[in-house]
Amino acid sequence: MMLYALRNVTQRYADRVVLDIDQLEIEEGRIHALLGPNGAGKTTLLNVLGFLEAPTTGAMFFRGQPVEASRAAMLHLRRQVVLVDQHPIMFSTSVRSNIEFGLKIRKMEKAERQRVVDEVLETVGLRQFKLARAHELSGGETQRLALARALALSPRVLLCDEPTASVDAENQAVVSGLLQQINAARGTTIIFTTHDRLQAASLAQHTLVLEGGRLAATTYENSYACIWDSSGNGDLRCTLQGRVEIPSPSPPACQPTGSGRIYIDPEKISLSRIDDQGKSNQGVTGTIVLLMAEGEKIRVVVNIGVLMVVLMDRSSYREKHPLVGETVALRLSADAITLLAAPAP
């Protein structure tokens, strides 16, 4: 079932459009990752999905029903969705009182509240802090308490704004594990934002990418700021992030010059090992920094001055057998590059 459906939704602050989504559907019961650079509109979209802000224009549907912007309707919907902030703030009370807040609002009996508090604290591993002051917890513990506080309300949807961005590696694993556990055990739909493509790939069943407030048809990875330069002999070259120059096999649509943003399809990059003389046949060279199995594909991350992801099928991987630390050559096929943002002169 479709949980959310958005049609021509925009969100404006003063004259600035921060969100502009033609069409978006989010399926119920799954984990969705929302990827995008800073300022892409991820948090704004979460606020809209959490019914904390009504969109400026457009139509929104929740479980097939149109969303009304009235205060009462938004409150009713808000009680089915909980947003956990990137830097969650705790009320200046005890851990228990923080969790009880939403339960009291829902007029739950005291005995039942106690049971829920104990259960969610057990889930996030904070039972020993039940009577502690919430402000005395560490950053990682606070993040887990914020999850517990949300979880206590048994929401239909859990929205998490960069849930692991401000915690250490140990707590990152704990929080990621909790999100999977919540989704698997309770069927809660989880939508989280992240900059971490690997986290999105490993945790989410579905990934959305935002670029400049719009949904991008790419996977966010291999998306670079780029400067085009046409040399005298007609060859077109792209300089990625101002650091790495790559040949542009075919100019997107027209012959652009100037700066813009491009996406390089990771499935349309071929990887070859450097020959014994240490020379590549063609293209750019880089060092493999990561190899990871991803479904039927093998994800190879190559450092060519910027990190570039190559997705190989398993047969190709077995044939070429690239190794971490090895220097390899990358070659872009003719239709690998997509123009994301028009070049500025």
Partner 1 sequence: MSFFLESFSAALRLVGSLDPELLTIVRVSLSVSCIATVFAALIGIPAGFAIAYGQLPGKRILITILNTLLALPTVVIGLFVYTFISRRGIFGPLDLLYTQKAMIIGQFILIVPLIAALTVAAVSRVDERYRKTAKTLGADTWQTALVVVREGRFGIGAAVISAFGRVISEIGISMMLGGNIKGFTRTMTTAMALEYDKGSFTLAVALGLVLMALSLGMNVLFNLVQGRSAR
Select the residue interacting with partner 1 from 81, 160, 209, 210 (CB under 8 A): 81
**H/E element, 245:** strand 244-247
Minimum gap (Å) between residue 283 Cβ and partner 1: 48
Please identify, among the stretches 60-68, 71-79, 195-203, 261-269, the one whose residues bind partner 1 according to the rule CB under 8 A: 71-79
Of 2, 59, 89, 293, which one interacts with partner 1 (CB under 8 A)?
89
| Nearest of 246, 313, 253 to residue 282 by alpha carbon | 246
Residues 194-223 that bind partner 1 (CB under 8 A): none
CA distances from 114 to 33, 81, 98, 99, 120 (A): 33, 22, 12, 10, 10
Distance CA 210, CA 212 (A): 7
**Residue 134: CB minimum distance to partner 1, A:** 12
**What is the Rg, in whole angstroms, of the alpha carbon atoms belonging to the chain?**
23
Our CA angle for 301, 256, 302, nearest 5°, is: 10
Based on CB atoms, which residue is closest to partner 1, 149 or 261?
149
Nearer to partner 1 by C-beta: 85 or 119? 85
Q: Which is nearer to partner 1, 6 or 84 (CB)?
A: 84
- The one-character DSSP state at 56 is S
Under rule CB under 8 A, residue 314 binds partner 1? no
Residue number, 58 or 102, with CB nearest to partner 1: 102
| Residue placing its CB nearer to partner 1 in the complex, 161 or 221 | 161
Span 101-120, contacts to partner 1 by CB under 8 A: 101-102, 105-106
Smallest separation (angstroms) from partner 1 to the CB of 3: 17
Distance of closest approach, residue 118 Cβ to partner 1, in angstroms: 19
C-alpha span between 184 and 166 (Å, rounded): 25
The reply on whether position 85 binds partner 1 by CB under 8 A is: yes
Instruction: Work out how close the CB of 250 gets to partner 1 at its nearest, in angstroms, rounded to a whole number.
Output: 47
285 token code pair: 């060279």
Q: Which two tokens mark 333?
A: 């096929």
Q: Phi then psi for 181, rounded to 5 degrees? A: -65, -45
Q: Does 7 bind partner 1 (CB under 8 A)?
A: no
Residues facing residue 229 across a β-bridge: 237
Nearest of 239, 248, 195 to residue 221 by alpha carbon: 195
Q: How far is the CB of 102 from partner 1 (least distance, A)?
A: 4
Q: 175: closest CA among 74, 31, 278?
A: 31
Tokens of 192: 């989280």
According to CB under 8 A, which residues from 133 to 172 bind partner 1?
Answer: 135, 149-150, 153
- Applying CB under 8 A, among 36, 41, 58, 88 the residue interacting with partner 1 is 88
Determine the Cα–Cα distance for residues 173 and 340; give it in Å rounded to an integer: 33
Which residues of this protein are in contact with partner 1, per CB under 8 A? 50, 52, 71, 75, 78-79, 81-83, 85, 87-89, 91-92, 101-102, 105-106, 135, 149-150, 153
